[in-house]
């Protein structure tokens, strides 16, 4: 992992993801989180202020040492019991059925093996657990999605692997049953990067 990924990207994330509109989404998404919680793609820890103190414990993961250094300052100030691990979402070391809730906020866009990461989320969730998420991805509007497809190769370079053209709901539904989902453009962002998927899903159980 080079200088740009470790030193520049963390500061870009902190700046670009700190706005009031995104904070409001975080607040709404995390208000009712319960039990043992895993957050993938913890980044600089901007979600931490919005977790209810009633959760049992919180495990957070991110493979980028640069964002982990910024996040640690927030972890040190938090009243929550937090375990931070410098790992990626494709190969989680946790046991099966370990968590009541898994959280992903603007993370699935940047994981290379996203299907494997979603399968890992499914594996570590309890059968009664919930996957809650807010992501940006592929717009249903053909004019916007065409630009998303054109710009994604550049976006991957400047935003450390971020793809703005992933069909997030379709990817999640391969492993999960969607319980709720809102799809919308975030008014504070350009449409090409601001089509959001916000929802909750439960693990899909084997037939029979």
**Span 34-60, pLDDT tens digits:** 999 999 999 999 999 999 988 999 999
Please, which pLDDT band fits residue 206 given cuts at 50, 70 and 90?
A: confident
Per-residue pLDDT, 1: 67
The mean of the pLDDT values for the chain is: 95
Assess whether pLDDT exceeds 90 at residue 205: no
pLDDT for 7: 86
Closest CA to 9 of 192, 187, 155, 195: 155
Angle 65-77/9-16 helices, nearest 10 degrees? 50
pLDDT digits (tens, 9 = 90+) for 82-109: 999 999 999 999 999 999 999 999 999 9
Structure tokens at 173: 């539904």
Does the pLDDT value for residue 187 go beyond 80? yes
Please state the domain extents for the chain. 3-203
User: CATH assignment of 3-203, given 3.40.50.10260, 3.55.10.10, 3.40.50.620, 3.40.50.150?
Assistant: 3.40.50.150
3-state secondary structure of 14: helix
DSSP-derived letter for residue 187 is T
pLDDT of residue 55: 94
With tokens 């919308």, the residue in question is 184
Helices (H), 78-130: 114-124
For residue 170, is pLDDT > 90? yes
The pLDDT value given to residue 160 = 87
pLDDT tens per residue across span 55-67: 999 999 999 999 9
Residue in the block written with tokens 């100030």: 77
Does residue 148 contact residue 138 with C-beta atoms inside 8 Å?
yes
Average pLDDT over residues 129-140: 98
Mean local confidence (pLDDT), 122-151: 98
Once rounded to an integer, what is the mean pLDDT over residues 148-165? 95
Average pLDDT of span 124-148: 98
Distance between start and end Cα atoms, the chain: 45
- What distance in Å separates the CA atoms of residue 135 and residue 63, rounded to the nearest whole number? 19
pLDDT score for 195: 98
């Amino acid at each position: 992992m080079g200088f740009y990924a470790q030193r520049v990207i963390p500061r870009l994330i902190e700046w670009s993801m700190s706005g009031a509109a995104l904070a409001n989404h975080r607040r709404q998404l995390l208000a009712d989180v319960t039990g043992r919680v895993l957050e993938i793609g913890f980044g600089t820890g901007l979600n931490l202020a919005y977790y209810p103190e009633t959760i049992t414990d919180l495990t957070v993961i991110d493979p980028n040492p640069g964002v982990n250094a910024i996040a640690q300052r927030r972890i040190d100030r938090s009243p929550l019991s937090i375990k931070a691990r410098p790992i990626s979402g494709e190969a989680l070391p946790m046991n099966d059925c370990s968590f009541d809730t898994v959280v992903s906020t603007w993370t699935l866009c940047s994981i290379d093996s996203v299907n494997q990461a979603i399968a890992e989320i499914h594996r570590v969730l309890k059968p009664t657990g919930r996957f809650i998420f807010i992501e940006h991805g592929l717009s249903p509007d053909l004019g916007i999605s065409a630009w998303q497809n054109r710009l994604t190769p550049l976006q991957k370079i400047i935003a450390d692997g971020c793809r703005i053209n992933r069909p997030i709901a379709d990817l999640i539904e391969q492993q999960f049953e969607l319980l709720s989902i809102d799809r919308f453009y975030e008014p504070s962002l350009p449409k090409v990067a601001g089509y959001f998927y916000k929802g909750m899903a439960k693990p899909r159980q084997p037939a029979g």
